[in-house]
């Protein structure tokens, strides 16, 4: 069959090929069904190597046989609709003029048929459109991405006068803005984290441009539109952008998915259904070029030229094109490639150069689909341990740089700024230790995934005296005391290569002094929540939760007796793991109770928590409770399986939910649906055998804890090398506080030490041992173990604020992951001295299991977290987020 064709060329009139983010993505990972080195594309029949470029314009230099000379002429400028579809008579989309959804669809420059970076290209005439005389070639190169935006608006329910929100201010998002303005939108807001693109959006007449890291996009949209946007265009393709779109759209509005997704998201079907909103997908374009060219020629689309942020020669494609989009993506939108006729690269050289680069990219990185070197420095607010380790491995920054950046971030918000008071003190030798670990990395490699990673420790975890840090449980009574050495968990972190960056604030004496607000300690004052100004951070691992939440370290350690890891993790939107009592050693940790104390990680993700947990578990002769654990501890990172919930049976003990906040229950029930969708069986209800009277259980638990504390704290103090204040036991601590009331018993909120006084009077007598037996029976046989056995469960699910007590009295593990946030319209109460609730206050969901079931709990929690990514849906309030990033300290 003879193919009628047009041969556009760049030989005489300058043409342009745009380089954009999709080119960068395709350069390193061609999407299926793209050709490979060994497999041809099913339509084009071409394999790699191929010439790239799908957004281009050019000049017609030759007409093939049968071309319509009434439409086309040599010397005319033209653009190409690059969509390639199968056009088979058996293909429904192709035969119904919907070729953009043909299952074999590809593009010129991606699937074959040449590309805009070729010297010449032959194209069927039906895909070529002559540019109006008033439209220059540079703007012609923008027609293809403009067609994607045009199509997205076209398939939406948008009509002139409607309001619209755009999520993602990349090239397509900005082009959607231009189209909406041309079609008389009444209000167009845009959500975009980079300031340069927000400024560009405002120049293009956006009504508002929001930073999603510091702004509640849905709330602002509701204010501006009196009830939500009529249409929301998601041009970001992230779980958080989809969730925001569903929150921001008005009832009976339209959410349009424009972005190309790398992973399948979870869909909040409850919100979608409650609003009777329409969810629409938009795929590329479908023969809209003629109407777009007419609109451009008539001057209806303003600001197109502003989107071309750089012009380069073909020979500079790699350095000034691809690499610039990688390294300077915030400022670059579209880069126009012009041929330089005086230094024209021969076609064969273009082919061979691109073929080599494509082959290298696919071989080295194609399987991972993530290229950390392509990104800028990781955002320290959210940076994972793996991201940091990858940057260290590639030499993009050092551990010294990390320590400098984290110290600067602490300085911004800890005492200064909002005064979060999350970090009690920093390690004077942190930079020295970082430099040593950098040298070790260069000389002999890394010890493991924590090599050179800065972490914070709760201030009840001992660190060797020579570092220059105190270990005080937040109390002036132990200031200046000398510990015999690192706590076992601290020593394990050092051995793993971690940098002990400092000590995190805690509720003084792990919240065991008296009725005192969570997060207060005499040494630093009141720690507060980064999501609600003056909000309750919970405790007692308050600072560990707050510091981790806003990126003052890569992660932290906390300790829990009853709720002190999982509760502040829940309140501060992080992940917390309280291990089985004895899985992690308590040697060198200021105690409350040998029967219930446990040390565990508090991190921004389940993956990070698994890394830290793997480093600190193991038997320790200094803690006899640790000797009961399995001889070989598992590598918990092996539990990080996205399908980890498939086949799991999880139970819900509904009777413990009494008095729970309605918003929490709604979010919890939605989470159950997510888990069902991930393959889990939910047994609901699956109640404990024991009646969970929390007050009654607490009376017995409190008896045990009081009896333990009196004995355990005296044992801890007796092992100290030096105690300048002279305290030796609980009686001395009570007296010290009374004598130093100006520093410890501070009016009006922090005066109480009734728990100390009660503990001092509680003997380890028959009532104590009866209470201990009751705890074990209620928490185990009549609690967690009983429910697991009766309902054949793998784990138990409870909202975090009701989850700690069953696990605490049993001595069993529990993991909390982010579940949701209080609604933005919740009344903000007056602080007293902190706020117990408020708009955007986070809350979590907990996974509980039997002794040493951490591996399965990590697996379940990770699968849920990856499907929902709730932590990413809201950031802390703006003043609580430090500004310092790695780029601010490198080389300084």
The catalytic residues are 458, 540, 564
- Nearest CA to 270 out of 667, 662, 651, 661 is that of 667
> SS3 string of 789-828?
HHCCCCEEEEEHHHCHHHHHHHCCCEEEEEEEECCCCCCC
Neighbours of 273 (CB within 10 A): 9
Strand partners, 9: 59, 120
Which DSSP string corresponds to 658-698? TT--HHHHHHHHHHHHHHHHTT-EEES----SS---HHHHH
Positive or negative, the CA dihedral 660, 532, 857, 852 is negative
Q: Residue 232: is the preceding peptide bond cis (ω within 30°)?
A: no
Which DSSP string corresponds to 330-356? TT-SEEEEE--GGGPPPHHHHHHHHHH
The number of CA neighbours under 13 Å toward the Cβ of 579 is 31
- Nearest CA to 678 out of 863, 533, 837, 507 is that of 863
Q: Report CA 6 to chain centroid distance, whole Å.
A: 48
Q: Which residues of 646-677 are buried (b: 16+ CB within 10 A; e: fewer)?
A: eebebbbbeebbeeeeebbeebbebbbebbee
Q: CA 375 to CA 398: how far, in whole Å?
A: 17
Q: CA 25 to CA 515: how far, in whole Å?
A: 56
Helix, strand, or coil here: 107?
strand
Contact 626, 619 (CB under 8 A): yes
- The DSSP output letter for 131 is P
The percent of the chain in helix, strand and coil, each rounded to the nearest 5, is 40, 15, 45
Q: CA 262 to CA 86: how far, in whole Å?
A: 24
Q: CA 551 to CA 573: how far, in whole Å?
A: 12
Q: Residue 291: is the preceding peptide bond cis (ω within 30°)?
A: no
Strand partners, 249: 229
- Nearest CA to 82 out of 159, 155, 147, 27 is that of 147
Cβ-proximal residues to 596 (8 Å cutoff; 6+ apart), any chain: 560, 561, 562, 581, 704, 705, 708, 808, 809, 811
Q: CA 337 to CA 324: how far, in whole Å?
A: 13
- Nearest CA to 804 out of 566, 570, 599, 583 is that of 566
Which helix (H) or strand (E) segment holds residue 457: the answer is strand 454-458
Q: What does DSSP say about strands 123-124 and 5-9: parallel, antiparallel, or unpaired?
A: antiparallel
Contact 113, 53 (CB under 8 A): no
Q: CA 336 to CA 116: how far, in whole Å?
A: 11
Cβ-proximal residues to 116 (8 Å cutoff; 6+ apart), any chain: 15, 17, 18, 52, 53, 54, 55, 56, 58, 80, 108, 109, 141, 337
Which DSSP string corresponds to 240-271? HHHHHHHHHEEEEEEEEE-SPPSSPPP--HHH
Q: CA 590 to CA 716: how far, in whole Å?
A: 7
Which DSSP string corresponds to 612-664? HHHHHBS--TT-GGGGGS-SS---GGGG--TTTTTT-EEE--GGGGTT--HHH
Burial class (CB in 10 A: 0-12, 13-18, 19+), 818: buried
Distances in whole angstroms, Cα of residue 886 to Cα of each of 280, 371, 391, 799: 39, 18, 11, 36
């Amino acid at each position: 069959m003879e193919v009628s064709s047009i041969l556009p060329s760049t030989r005489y009139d300058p043409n342009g090929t745009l380089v954009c983010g999709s080119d960068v993505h395709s350069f390193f990972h061609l999407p299926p069904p793209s050709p490979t080195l060994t497999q041809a594309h099913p339509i084009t029949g071409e394999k790699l190597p191929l010439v790239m470029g799908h957004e281009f314009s050019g000049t017609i230099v030759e007409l093939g046989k049968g071309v319509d000379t009434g439409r086309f002429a040599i010397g005319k400028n033209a653009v190409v609709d690059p969509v390639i579809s199968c056009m088979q008579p058996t293909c429904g989309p192709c035969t119904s003029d919907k070729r953009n959804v043909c299952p074999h669809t590809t593009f010129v420059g991606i699937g074959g048929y040449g590309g805009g970076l070729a010297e010449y290209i032959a194209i069927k005439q039906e895909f070529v459109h002559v540019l109006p005389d008033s439209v220059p070639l540079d703007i012609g190169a923008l027609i293809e991405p403009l067609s994607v935006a045009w199509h997205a608006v076209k398939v939406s329910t948008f009509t002139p006068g409607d309001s619209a929100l755009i999520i993602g201010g990349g090239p397509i998002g900005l082009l959607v803005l231009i189209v909406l303005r041309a079609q008389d939108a009444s209000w167009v807001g845009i959500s975009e984290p980079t300031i340069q693109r927000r400024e560009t959006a405002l120049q293009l007449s956006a009504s508002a441009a929001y930073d999603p890291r510091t702004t509640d996009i849905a709330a602002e949209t509701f204010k501006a539109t009196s009830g939500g946007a009529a249409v929301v265009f998601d041009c970001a393709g992230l779980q958080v952008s989809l969730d925001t779109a569903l929150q921001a759209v008005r009832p009976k509005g339209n959410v349009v998915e424009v972005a190309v997704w790398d992973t399948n998201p979870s869909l909040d079907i409850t919100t979608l259904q409650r609003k009777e909103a329409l969810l629409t997908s938009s795929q590329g374009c479908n023969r809209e070029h003629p109407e777009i060219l007419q609109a451009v020629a008539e001057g209806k689309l303003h600001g197109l030229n502003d989107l071309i942020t750089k012009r380069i020669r073909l020979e500079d494609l790699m350095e000034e094109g691809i690499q610039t989009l990688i390294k300077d993506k915030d400022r670059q939108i579209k880069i126009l490639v012009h041929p330089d006729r005086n230094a024209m690269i021969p076609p064969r050289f273009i082919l061979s150069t691109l073929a080599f680069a494509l082959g290298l990219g696919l071989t080295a990185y194609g399987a991972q689909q993530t290229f950390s070197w392509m990104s800028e420095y990781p955002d320290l607010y959210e940076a994972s341990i793996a991201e940091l380790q990858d940057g260290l491995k590639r030499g993009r920054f050092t551990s010294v740089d990390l320590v400098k950046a984290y110290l600067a971030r602490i300085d911004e918000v800890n005492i200064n700024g909002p005064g979060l008071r999350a970090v009690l003190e920093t390690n004077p030798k942190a930079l020295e230790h970082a430099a040593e670990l950098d040298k070790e990395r260069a000389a002999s490699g890394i010890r493991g995934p924590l090599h050179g990673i800065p972490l914070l420790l709760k201030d009840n975890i001992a660190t060797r005296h020579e570092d220059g840090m105190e270990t005080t449980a937040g109390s002036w009574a132990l200031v200046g005391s000398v510990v015999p050495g690192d706590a076992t968990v601290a020593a394990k972190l050092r051995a793993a290569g971690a940098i002990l960056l400092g000590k995190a604030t805690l509720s003084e004496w792990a919240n065991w002094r008296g009725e005192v607000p969570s997060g207060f300690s005499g040494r630093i004052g009141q720690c507060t929540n980064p999501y609600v100004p003056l909000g309750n951070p919970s405790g007692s691992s308050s600072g560990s939760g707050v510091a981790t939440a806003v990126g003052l370290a890569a992660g932290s350690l906390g300790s829990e007796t009853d709720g002190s890891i999982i509760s502040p993790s829940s309140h501060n939107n992080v992940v917390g793991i309280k291990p089985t009592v004895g899985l992690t050693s308590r040697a060198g940790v200021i105690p409350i109770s040998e029967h219930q104390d446990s040390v565990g990680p508090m991190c921004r993700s389940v993956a990070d928590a698994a890394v830290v947990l793997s480093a600190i578990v193991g038997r320790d002769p200094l803690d006899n409770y640790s000797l009961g654990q399995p001889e070989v501890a598992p590598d918990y990172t092996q539990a990080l399986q996205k399908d980890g919930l498939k086949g799991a049976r999880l139970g819900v003990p509904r009777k413990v939910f009494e008095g729970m906040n309605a918003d929490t229950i709604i979010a919890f029930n939605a989470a159950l649906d997510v888990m069902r969708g991930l393959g889990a069986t939910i047994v609901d209800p699956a109640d404990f055998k024991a009646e969970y009277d929390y007050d009654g259980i607490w009376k017995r638990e409190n008896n045990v804890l009081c009896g333990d504390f009196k004995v355990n704290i005296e044992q801890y103090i007796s092992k100290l090398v030096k105690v300048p204040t002279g305290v030796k036991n609980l009686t001395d601590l009570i007296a010290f506080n009374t004598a130093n009331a100006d520093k410890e018993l501070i009016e009006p909120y922090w005066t109480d030490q009734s728990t100390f006084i009660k503990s001092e009077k509680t003997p380890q007598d028959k009532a104590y041992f009866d209470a201990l037996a009751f705890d074990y029976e209620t928490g185990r046989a009549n609690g967690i173990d009983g429910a697991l056995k009766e309902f054949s469960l793998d784990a138990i699910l409870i909202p975090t604020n009701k989850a700690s007590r069953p696990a605490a009295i049993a001595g069993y593990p529990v993991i909390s992951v982010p579940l949701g946030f209080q609604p933005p319209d919740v009344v903000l109460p007056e602080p007293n001295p902190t706020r117990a609730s408020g708009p955007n206050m986070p809350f979590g969901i907990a996974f509980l299991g039997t002794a040493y079931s951490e591996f399965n709990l990590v697996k379940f929690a990770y699968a849920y977290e990856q499907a929902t990514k709730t932590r990413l849906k809201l950031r802390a309030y703006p003043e609580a987020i430090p500004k310092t990033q790695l780029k601010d300290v490198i080389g300084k």
